[in-house]
Amino acid sequence: METSQLQHTNRQYEEELRDLRNNLLKMGGTVERQIADAVQATVNRDSAMAQRVIADDAEVNRMDIEVEELCIKLLALRQPAARDLRFITTGLKINVDLERIGDLAVNIAERALELNQEPMVKPFLDIPRMATLARSMVKDSLDAFTREDCALAEDVIRRDDQVDQLNYQIFRELLSYMAEDARTIGRGTRILFVSRYLERIADHATAIAEMVIFMVKGKTIRHMDKAQR
Amino acid sequence: METSQLQHTNRQYEEELRDLRNNLLKMGGTVERQIADAVQATVNRDSAMAQRVIADDAEVNRMDIEVEELCIKLLALRQPAARDLRFITTGLKINVDLERIGDLAVNIAERALELNQEPMVKPFLDIPRMATLARSMVKDSLDAFTREDCALAEDVIRRDDQVDQLNYQIFRELLSYMAEDARTIGRGTRILFVSRYLERIADHATAIAEMVIFMVKGKTIRHMDKAQR
């Protein structure tokens, strides 16, 4: 291959890698907005907003297919080595997590629609706080990925404990609330599910952060005790 | 490269692909057993068995790392094309789903331990039936993968509806049960979670089945309506 041709190919390859990075960030932005909207739809009893979150799922699904095809194309045509290879296989897996985060936002929106058909139950406790935390974890896990920033990834992993604590607290409070008034059990259980969906979103962000550390350090911190990291 | 050397390399490559297949099947066998044991531990109030399920997680985590490293090695050193490439990237993603199925079995076992500290609540409704279904879906999705069997994969996807229905039915029955006697809310909610974990296990099996069809047919059936498939 002549030098000019090779440069052209390299430039294209760099562009494709940049596309992958940008597509994942864009997808991340969309699911972050879905989380925020779904929780706002729940708290404000806004069914129109819940419907929009559900409609946005088509866009996330389109992005999911696009990212996967780009990853496979890069692996097939560019035969990347070492660092790029890790970047692409990590992208392939992050894509799966982002798509599932989108699904969980849709699940929150579905529960919001059900809750809106019943009278208001008590305030939503720490649900909004939990949502803010989970969203920031999604955002930072993706930033850690694009910047290859292990310190930020580790910070995301630490925040998961806070989300778990909030989830447990909400669980306890809702249980005693339902025990006091059996008529709230149906609604209470739905809010319980919203809390679990947010916890699972945080788990996906944590999984992404762990993949980033694996990608950068080349070692698996998944399944290590926190002290070993 | 001489012919004998090339043959040697090819044979090694074939062996590595076979290793990948076998490791995923073995991992699948382990998580299937975890599901069965976790539900048996719940139904029979057997805390020792629940502890074993939790202990088995270390083995699944070890397998997870092994499979991932094998996939990356294959991609890096063998530069596979077309069909093998799809097989390996699919293996990489299936690995993630299997590991999370193992985590969900652990979650069931944790709920079993909590339930065993309280008096027996009513029979476990359709939980065992749901577990049998979810397990068969995990098994068949992996068989569909190794045999590249789209018909079996489609059958797995169809069974997901039955699991969703059972989950909904259990949800309804537990709600009315808790409404009748507020003292059962704590326990009822834990059984509700077990039902959700099983539903999520079936979702992971469905995701694997969809990946298999994508791998074989080279088209994405994820996000298609069932009629379009």
Positions of chain A with pLDDT lower than 50, given as ranges: 226
Give the model's pLDDT for residue B221: 55
Q: Taking residues B172-199, what's their average pLDDT?
A: 90
> Rounded to whole angstroms, what are the CA distances from A159 to A124, A163, A183?
21, 7, 35
Evaluate the CA torsion angle A109, A114, A120, A121 in order and state its sign: negative
Contact A222 B65 (CB under 8 A): yes
Give the model's pLDDT for residue A151: 97
Give the model's pLDDT for residue B1: 53
Give the model's pLDDT for residue B91: 95
Give the model's pLDDT for residue A224: 57
Q: Which residue has the higher pLDDT, B112 or A76?
A: B112
- Largest interatomic CA distance in chain A: 79
Q: Which of A178-182, B126-130, B144-148, B221-225 has the lowest mean pLDDT?
A: B221-225
Q: Is the pLDDT of residue B157 over 70?
A: yes
Q: Please report which confidence band the pLDDT of residue B178 belongs to, taking 50, 70 and 90 as the band edges.
A: confident
CATH code for A3-228? Answer: 1.20.58.220
DSSP A45: T
Taking contacts as CB-CB distances below 8 angstroms, the residues of chain B near A171 are 189
Give the model's pLDDT for residue A76: 87
Q: Is the pLDDT of residue B99 over 70?
A: yes
Q: What is the chain B residue with the closest CA to A192? A: B189
Give the model's pLDDT for residue A2: 58
Contact B179 A196 (CB under 8 A): no
**Which residue in this structure is represented by tokens 């930033």?**
A143
The B-side interface with A (CB below 8 A) comprises 58, 61-62, 64-65, 68, 71-72, 75-76, 79, 81-82, 85-86, 89, 92-93, 96, 171, 175, 178-180, 182-183, 185-186, 189, 192-193, 196, 220, 222-223
Give the model's pLDDT for residue B6: 65
**8 Å CB contact between B23 and B70:** yes
Q: Cα separation of A42 and A113, whole Å?
A: 8
Give the model's pLDDT for residue B5: 66
Q: Torsions phi, psi of A93, nearest 5?
A: -80, -35
